[in-house]
Structure 1
Amino acid sequence: MSLTRNENRARLSPRSDPQIYRPNSVDMQGLPHRERVWLKKRARELRVGTLNVVTMRGTGRAIADLMKTRRVDILCVQETRWKGNKARELGEGYKIVYSRANKEGRNGVGIILSSEMKKEIFEVDQRNDRIIWVWLMVENCTVNIFSVYAPQIGCSDAGKDRFWSDLEEEMEKVPADERCLVGGDLNGHVGQNNHVISCIHGGYGYDERMQRVRESLILLCPRI
Protein backbone atom coordinates (compact mmCIF):
# COMPACT_ATOMS: atom_id res chain seq x y z
CA MET A 1 0.00 0.00 0.00
CA SER A 2 1.56 3.26 -1.11
CA LEU A 3 1.23 6.40 0.97
CA THR A 4 2.32 8.82 -1.73
CA ARG A 5 0.47 10.68 -4.42
CA ASN A 6 0.47 14.16 -5.93
CA GLU A 7 1.81 16.87 -3.62
CA ASN A 8 3.16 14.19 -1.24
CA ARG A 9 -0.28 13.59 0.24
CA ALA A 10 -2.06 10.27 0.70
CA ARG A 11 -5.59 9.31 1.68
CA LEU A 12 -6.29 5.89 3.13
CA SER A 13 -9.48 3.95 3.64
CA PRO A 14 -10.20 3.47 7.35
CA ARG A 15 -12.38 0.75 8.76
CA SER A 16 -15.47 2.93 8.44
CA ASP A 17 -16.51 5.96 6.42
CA PRO A 18 -14.39 8.86 7.78
CA GLN A 19 -16.95 11.41 6.64
CA ILE A 20 -19.81 10.16 8.77
CA TYR A 21 -18.95 12.41 11.69
CA ARG A 22 -16.86 15.45 12.43
CA PRO A 23 -17.94 17.72 15.28
CA ASN A 24 -19.87 20.80 14.16
CA SER A 25 -21.44 22.18 17.30
CA VAL A 26 -18.61 23.31 19.54
CA ASP A 27 -18.36 25.27 22.73
CA MET A 28 -15.77 27.86 23.77
CA GLN A 29 -13.09 25.20 24.29
CA GLY A 30 -13.27 23.93 20.73
CA LEU A 31 -15.03 20.58 21.15
CA PRO A 32 -18.42 19.40 22.36
CA HIS A 33 -18.34 18.39 26.02
CA ARG A 34 -18.69 14.68 25.22
CA GLU A 35 -15.72 14.78 22.80
CA ARG A 36 -13.56 16.76 25.24
CA VAL A 37 -14.24 14.28 28.03
CA TRP A 38 -13.42 11.38 25.71
CA LEU A 39 -10.16 12.96 24.56
CA LYS A 40 -9.05 13.62 28.13
CA LYS A 41 -9.77 10.01 29.01
CA ARG A 42 -8.07 8.75 25.85
CA ALA A 43 -5.05 10.98 26.46
CA ARG A 44 -4.40 9.11 29.70
CA GLU A 45 -4.28 5.87 27.70
CA LEU A 46 -2.49 7.00 24.53
CA ARG A 47 1.29 7.10 24.88
CA VAL A 48 3.04 9.42 22.43
CA GLY A 49 6.80 10.02 22.30
CA THR A 50 9.52 11.58 20.18
CA LEU A 51 13.06 10.40 19.44
CA ASN A 52 15.96 11.53 17.29
CA VAL A 53 17.11 8.15 15.99
CA VAL A 54 20.14 9.51 14.02
CA THR A 55 19.33 6.87 11.40
CA MET A 56 16.68 4.21 10.80
CA ARG A 57 19.09 2.04 8.84
CA GLY A 58 19.32 -1.24 10.70
CA THR A 59 17.52 0.07 13.78
CA GLY A 60 13.85 -0.45 12.88
CA ARG A 61 13.33 -3.69 14.80
CA ALA A 62 15.16 -2.38 17.88
CA ILE A 63 12.92 0.71 17.96
CA ALA A 64 9.83 -1.48 17.56
CA ASP A 65 10.97 -3.59 20.51
CA LEU A 66 11.57 -0.41 22.53
CA MET A 67 8.07 0.86 21.77
CA LYS A 68 6.58 -2.47 22.78
CA THR A 69 8.53 -2.53 26.05
CA ARG A 70 7.59 1.07 26.90
CA ARG A 71 4.04 0.60 25.60
CA VAL A 72 4.34 3.56 23.22
CA ASP A 73 1.46 3.87 20.73
CA ILE A 74 2.91 6.64 18.53
CA LEU A 75 6.54 7.67 18.18
CA CYS A 76 7.70 10.72 16.21
CA VAL A 77 11.21 10.09 14.85
CA GLN A 78 13.78 12.42 13.30
CA GLU A 79 16.88 11.91 11.16
CA THR A 80 15.52 8.74 9.60
CA ARG A 81 17.79 9.26 6.55
CA TRP A 82 15.70 7.00 4.33
CA LYS A 83 15.01 7.75 0.67
CA GLY A 84 11.53 8.40 -0.69
CA ASN A 85 8.14 9.13 0.84
CA LYS A 86 6.99 5.68 1.85
CA ALA A 87 5.73 3.37 4.59
CA ARG A 88 7.02 0.07 5.88
CA GLU A 89 6.45 -2.49 8.60
CA LEU A 90 9.06 -2.67 11.37
CA GLY A 91 7.93 -5.79 13.19
CA GLU A 92 5.82 -6.48 16.27
CA GLY A 93 2.91 -4.84 14.41
CA TYR A 94 4.55 -1.39 14.27
CA LYS A 95 4.51 0.59 11.05
CA ILE A 96 6.40 3.75 10.04
CA VAL A 97 5.32 6.39 7.54
CA TYR A 98 8.15 8.72 6.61
CA SER A 99 9.38 11.61 4.47
CA ARG A 100 12.50 11.39 2.37
CA ALA A 101 15.96 12.54 3.41
CA ASN A 102 17.45 15.52 1.57
CA LYS A 103 19.81 15.28 -1.42
CA GLU A 104 22.78 14.79 0.90
CA GLY A 105 21.06 11.84 2.61
CA ARG A 106 20.45 13.81 5.82
CA ASN A 107 17.37 14.71 7.84
CA GLY A 108 14.16 12.81 7.17
CA VAL A 109 11.24 12.46 9.59
CA GLY A 110 8.67 9.79 10.31
CA ILE A 111 5.90 8.59 12.59
CA ILE A 112 5.77 5.04 13.94
CA LEU A 113 2.37 3.68 14.90
CA SER A 114 1.30 0.61 16.85
CA SER A 115 -0.83 -2.12 15.31
CA GLU A 116 -3.93 -0.43 16.71
CA MET A 117 -3.07 3.11 15.67
CA LYS A 118 -1.96 2.27 12.13
CA LYS A 119 -5.51 1.13 11.39
CA GLU A 120 -6.77 4.61 12.22
CA ILE A 121 -4.68 6.51 9.62
CA PHE A 122 -6.87 8.52 7.28
CA GLU A 123 -4.42 10.94 5.70
CA VAL A 124 -0.67 11.51 5.50
CA ASP A 125 1.05 14.77 4.51
CA GLN A 126 4.77 14.40 3.75
CA ARG A 127 5.74 18.07 3.41
CA ASN A 128 9.51 17.72 3.12
CA ASP A 129 12.56 16.22 4.82
CA ARG A 130 11.75 18.11 8.05
CA ILE A 131 7.95 17.93 8.41
CA ILE A 132 5.41 15.12 8.23
CA TRP A 133 1.99 14.71 9.80
CA VAL A 134 -0.70 12.06 9.98
CA TRP A 135 -4.39 12.50 10.54
CA LEU A 136 -5.91 9.74 12.67
CA MET A 137 -9.61 8.94 12.94
CA VAL A 138 -9.85 7.48 16.44
CA GLU A 139 -13.35 6.45 17.47
CA ASN A 140 -15.02 9.32 15.58
CA CYS A 141 -12.52 11.89 16.86
CA THR A 142 -9.70 13.37 14.82
CA VAL A 143 -6.13 13.72 16.06
CA ASN A 144 -3.27 15.23 14.03
CA ILE A 145 0.28 14.09 14.85
CA PHE A 146 3.27 16.08 13.55
CA SER A 147 6.89 14.92 13.51
CA VAL A 148 9.34 17.77 12.87
CA TYR A 149 13.09 18.33 12.73
CA ALA A 150 14.25 21.95 12.99
CA PRO A 151 17.47 23.18 11.34
CA GLN A 152 20.61 23.03 13.47
CA ILE A 153 22.52 26.04 14.78
CA GLY A 154 24.91 26.02 11.82
CA CYS A 155 22.14 26.25 9.21
CA SER A 156 21.35 29.54 7.49
CA ASP A 157 18.80 31.97 8.89
CA ALA A 158 16.85 31.62 5.65
CA GLY A 159 16.62 27.86 6.17
CA LYS A 160 15.43 28.32 9.76
CA ASP A 161 12.81 30.86 8.74
CA ARG A 162 11.61 28.55 5.97
CA PHE A 163 11.17 25.68 8.43
CA TRP A 164 9.01 27.69 10.83
CA SER A 165 7.03 29.14 7.94
CA ASP A 166 6.42 25.66 6.47
CA LEU A 167 5.35 24.29 9.86
CA GLU A 168 2.94 27.16 10.42
CA GLU A 169 1.49 26.65 6.95
CA GLU A 170 0.93 22.94 7.60
CA MET A 171 -0.68 23.56 10.98
CA GLU A 172 -3.09 26.06 9.44
CA LYS A 173 -4.54 23.13 7.47
CA VAL A 174 -5.76 21.56 10.72
CA PRO A 175 -9.34 22.61 11.57
CA ALA A 176 -9.72 24.48 14.85
CA ASP A 177 -11.94 21.74 16.33
CA GLU A 178 -9.31 19.00 15.93
CA ARG A 179 -6.53 18.05 18.33
CA CYS A 180 -2.94 18.63 17.26
CA LEU A 181 0.23 17.12 18.77
CA VAL A 182 3.74 18.11 17.68
CA GLY A 183 6.70 15.89 18.49
CA GLY A 184 10.19 16.58 17.28
CA ASP A 185 13.74 17.78 17.67
CA LEU A 186 13.61 21.59 17.58
CA ASN A 187 17.35 22.04 18.04
CA GLY A 188 17.13 24.82 20.59
CA HIS A 189 16.66 25.81 24.21
CA VAL A 190 13.75 27.80 25.60
CA GLY A 191 15.58 28.57 28.85
CA GLN A 192 14.56 27.99 32.46
CA ASN A 193 12.53 31.15 32.94
CA ASN A 194 8.87 30.78 31.98
CA HIS A 195 7.83 34.21 33.20
CA VAL A 196 4.97 35.64 31.10
CA ILE A 197 4.70 32.47 28.96
CA SER A 198 3.87 29.94 31.68
CA CYS A 199 0.78 28.88 29.72
CA ILE A 200 3.04 27.25 27.09
CA HIS A 201 6.29 26.75 29.05
CA GLY A 202 6.18 24.15 31.80
CA GLY A 203 9.29 25.47 33.53
CA TYR A 204 11.37 22.39 32.74
CA GLY A 205 13.74 24.00 30.25
CA TYR A 206 17.45 24.39 30.87
CA ASP A 207 20.44 26.38 29.66
CA GLU A 208 20.20 29.87 28.25
CA ARG A 209 17.35 30.51 25.88
CA MET A 210 17.78 30.73 22.11
CA GLN A 211 15.74 33.77 21.18
CA ARG A 212 14.79 32.70 17.65
CA VAL A 213 13.48 29.31 18.79
CA ARG A 214 11.71 30.81 21.80
CA GLU A 215 9.94 33.46 19.72
CA SER A 216 8.89 30.90 17.11
CA LEU A 217 7.41 28.61 19.76
CA ILE A 218 5.53 31.47 21.40
CA LEU A 219 3.83 32.16 18.06
CA LEU A 220 3.26 28.49 17.27
CA CYS A 221 2.02 27.00 20.55
CA PRO A 222 -1.36 28.80 20.72
CA ARG A 223 -2.29 26.96 17.50
CA ILE A 224 -1.79 23.55 19.12
Structure 2
Amino acid sequence: MRTREICFRNPNVCGGMDDKIDDVCELMKERRLNILCVNGTKRKGNGGAIKHRSRRRCRGVNFIISERLSECINGYESVNLRLLSLQVKTELMLIFILGVYTPDMFKPFEEREEFWVDVRDILRKCDRNERIVMLADFSA
Protein backbone atom coordinates (compact mmCIF):
# COMPACT_ATOMS: atom_id res chain seq x y z
CA MET A 1 0.00 0.00 0.00
CA ARG A 2 1.38 3.39 -0.90
CA THR A 3 0.35 6.01 1.59
CA ARG A 4 1.82 9.07 3.22
CA GLU A 5 -0.50 9.04 6.17
CA ILE A 6 -1.76 6.37 8.54
CA CYS A 7 -4.13 7.52 11.28
CA PHE A 8 -3.98 5.88 14.72
CA ARG A 9 -6.23 6.34 17.74
CA ASN A 10 -6.53 4.85 21.21
CA PRO A 11 -10.08 5.55 22.47
CA ASN A 12 -11.50 4.63 25.84
CA VAL A 13 -14.37 2.25 25.12
CA CYS A 14 -15.96 2.04 28.55
CA GLY A 15 -17.61 -1.20 29.59
CA GLY A 16 -16.69 -3.63 26.85
CA MET A 17 -16.93 -3.89 23.07
CA ASP A 18 -19.62 -6.45 22.27
CA ASP A 19 -22.46 -3.96 21.94
CA LYS A 20 -20.30 -1.14 20.52
CA ILE A 21 -18.27 -2.76 17.75
CA ASP A 22 -20.54 -1.58 14.92
CA ASP A 23 -20.54 2.00 16.25
CA VAL A 24 -16.76 1.99 16.65
CA CYS A 25 -16.27 0.69 13.08
CA GLU A 26 -18.62 3.36 11.74
CA LEU A 27 -16.67 6.02 13.65
CA MET A 28 -13.46 4.70 12.05
CA LYS A 29 -14.95 5.16 8.58
CA GLU A 30 -16.24 8.67 9.34
CA ARG A 31 -12.91 9.84 10.75
CA ARG A 32 -10.82 7.92 8.20
CA LEU A 33 -8.90 6.02 10.87
CA ASN A 34 -6.72 3.08 9.86
CA ILE A 35 -5.84 1.48 13.17
CA LEU A 36 -7.69 1.71 16.45
CA CYS A 37 -6.23 0.28 19.63
CA VAL A 38 -8.97 -0.46 22.15
CA ASN A 39 -8.15 -1.32 25.74
CA GLY A 40 -10.30 -2.93 28.37
CA THR A 41 -12.37 -4.66 25.72
CA LYS A 42 -13.48 -7.45 28.07
CA ARG A 43 -13.67 -9.79 25.09
CA LYS A 44 -12.88 -13.49 25.51
CA GLY A 45 -10.14 -15.37 23.66
CA ASN A 46 -6.39 -15.45 23.12
CA GLY A 47 -5.87 -11.97 21.79
CA GLY A 48 -5.30 -10.72 18.30
CA ALA A 49 -6.07 -8.16 15.69
CA ILE A 50 -9.65 -7.58 14.63
CA LYS A 51 -10.10 -6.79 10.97
CA HIS A 52 -12.72 -4.17 10.30
CA ARG A 53 -16.16 -5.58 11.11
CA SER A 54 -14.90 -9.00 12.20
CA ARG A 55 -15.70 -10.70 15.50
CA ARG A 56 -12.39 -12.17 16.69
CA ARG A 57 -12.50 -12.01 20.48
CA CYS A 58 -9.94 -11.10 23.10
CA ARG A 59 -9.70 -9.38 26.47
CA GLY A 60 -7.42 -6.56 27.47
CA VAL A 61 -5.97 -4.89 24.40
CA ASN A 62 -7.07 -5.24 20.77
CA PHE A 63 -6.62 -3.61 17.37
CA ILE A 64 -9.35 -2.79 14.91
CA ILE A 65 -7.87 -2.42 11.44
CA SER A 66 -9.48 -0.70 8.47
CA GLU A 67 -10.13 -2.76 5.38
CA ARG A 68 -7.73 -0.50 3.48
CA LEU A 69 -4.82 -1.27 5.79
CA SER A 70 -5.61 -4.93 6.53
CA GLU A 71 -3.68 -6.12 3.47
CA CYS A 72 -0.52 -4.49 4.88
CA ILE A 73 -0.48 -6.48 8.12
CA ASN A 74 2.66 -8.62 8.32
CA GLY A 75 1.65 -10.28 11.56
CA TYR A 76 0.76 -9.82 15.16
CA GLU A 77 1.76 -11.31 18.48
CA SER A 78 -0.28 -11.48 21.64
CA VAL A 79 2.37 -11.30 24.36
CA ASN A 80 -0.25 -11.41 27.11
CA LEU A 81 -3.65 -9.86 27.82
CA ARG A 82 -2.04 -6.44 28.23
CA LEU A 83 0.41 -6.39 25.30
CA LEU A 84 -0.33 -6.90 21.63
CA SER A 85 2.08 -6.11 18.80
CA LEU A 86 1.24 -5.53 15.17
CA GLN A 87 3.61 -5.32 12.21
CA VAL A 88 2.52 -3.19 9.27
CA LYS A 89 4.42 -3.03 6.00
CA THR A 90 3.62 -0.28 3.55
CA GLU A 91 5.50 0.57 0.41
CA LEU A 92 7.28 3.40 2.20
CA MET A 93 8.02 1.99 5.67
CA LEU A 94 7.79 -0.75 8.26
CA ILE A 95 5.75 0.08 11.35
CA PHE A 96 5.78 -1.80 14.64
CA ILE A 97 2.70 -0.96 16.71
CA LEU A 98 2.48 -1.96 20.34
CA GLY A 99 -0.91 -1.91 22.03
CA VAL A 100 -0.44 -1.47 25.77
CA TYR A 101 -2.89 -1.71 28.67
CA THR A 102 -0.96 -1.09 31.89
CA PRO A 103 -1.88 -2.85 35.13
CA ASP A 104 -3.37 -0.50 37.70
CA MET A 105 -1.78 0.43 41.02
CA PHE A 106 -3.92 -2.12 42.87
CA LYS A 107 -2.08 -4.99 41.18
CA PRO A 108 0.89 -6.47 43.07
CA PHE A 109 4.20 -4.69 42.53
CA GLU A 110 5.74 -7.83 41.02
CA GLU A 111 3.00 -8.03 38.39
CA ARG A 112 3.54 -4.40 37.41
CA GLU A 113 7.32 -4.88 37.22
CA GLU A 114 6.92 -8.01 35.09
CA PHE A 115 4.66 -6.06 32.73
CA TRP A 116 7.35 -3.42 32.09
CA VAL A 117 9.97 -6.13 31.57
CA ASP A 118 7.67 -7.61 28.88
CA VAL A 119 7.33 -4.17 27.23
CA ARG A 120 11.11 -3.75 27.16
CA ASP A 121 11.65 -7.27 25.79
CA ILE A 122 9.18 -6.88 22.93
CA LEU A 123 10.59 -3.47 21.94
CA ARG A 124 14.06 -5.01 21.77
CA LYS A 125 12.77 -7.37 19.06
CA CYS A 126 12.02 -4.45 16.74
CA ASP A 127 14.08 -4.12 13.62
CA ARG A 128 16.19 -0.96 13.37
CA ASN A 129 14.31 0.02 10.19
CA GLU A 130 10.89 -0.13 11.83
CA ARG A 131 9.06 2.91 13.10
CA ILE A 132 7.69 2.24 16.57
CA VAL A 133 4.23 3.42 17.59
CA MET A 134 2.95 2.75 21.10
CA LEU A 135 -0.79 3.07 21.62
CA ALA A 136 -1.42 2.82 25.32
CA ASP A 137 -3.70 3.31 28.25
CA PHE A 138 -1.40 4.58 31.00
CA SER A 139 -4.25 5.45 33.36
CA ALA A 140 -2.76 3.09 35.92
Q: Report the TM-score range of the alignment, normalised by the length of the smaller protein.
A: 0.7 to 0.9
Q: Which amino acid aligns with 2:79?
A: R
Q: Which of 76, 85, 90 is the equivalent residue of 1:133?
A: 85
The count of aligned residue pairs is: 138
Residue 110 of structure 2 corresponds to residue 149 of structure 1: no
Q: Secondary structure at the match of 1:162?
A: helix
d(CA) in 2 for partners of 1:169, 1:46: 26
Query: How big is the shift at 1:52?
Result: 2.5
d(CA) in 1 for partners of 2:56, 2:95: 16
Distance 1:148 1:77, change over 3 A: same
Query: How big is the shift at 1:112?
Result: 1.0
d(CA) in 2 for partners of 1:180, 1:70: 23
Query: How big is the shift at 1:143?
Result: 0.6
d(CA) in 2 for partners of 1:133, 1:97: 16
Q: Secondary structure at the match of 1:187?
A: coil
Unpaired runs of 5+ residues, structure 1, are 1-14, 16-37, 102-107, 189-224
Query: How big is the shift at 1:97?
Result: 6.5
Of residues 163-172 and 140-149 in structure 1, the stretch that sits farther from structure 2 once superposed is 140-149
Query: How big is the shift at 1:48?
Result: 0.7
**Aligned residue in 1 for 2:34:** 73
Residue 18 of structure 2 corresponds to residue 47 of structure 1: no
Query: How big is the shift at 1:69?
Result: 1.4
**Aligned residue in 2 for 1:168:** 120
* More strand per residue: 2
d(CA) in 1 for partners of 2:117, 2:62: 20
The one of the two structures with greater contact order (alpha-carbon pairs below 8 A, sep at least 6) is: 2
* Percent identical: 28
The 5 Å alignment of 1:180-195 reads 180-188=132-140
Unpaired runs of 5+ residues, structure 2, are none
TM-score of the aligned structures, taking structure 2 as reference length: 0.87
TM-score of the aligned structures, taking structure 1 as reference length: 0.56
Q: Secondary structure at the match of 1:127?
A: strand
Query: How big is the shift at 1:87?
Result: 5.1
**Aligned residue in 1 for 2:63:** 111
Query: How big is the shift at 1:82?
Result: 1.2
d(CA) in 2 for partners of 1:152, 1:132: 18
* More helix per residue: 1
Segments ≥4 residues shifted beyond 6 Å: none
CA contact (8 A) 2:52 2:67 kept: no
d(CA) in 1 for partners of 2:112, 2:34: 30
Of residues 79-88 and 53-62 in structure 1, the stretch that sits farther from structure 2 once superposed is 79-88
CA contact (8 A) 2:51 2:66 kept: no
Distance 1:181 1:96, change over 3 A: farther
Alpha-carbon RMSD across the aligned residues, in angstroms, is: 2.3
Q: Which amino acid aligns with 1:127?
A: V
Map Cα deviations across residues 167-207 of structure 1 (whole Å, 9 max, x no partner). 1111111112211100010125xxxxxxxxxxxxxxxxxxx
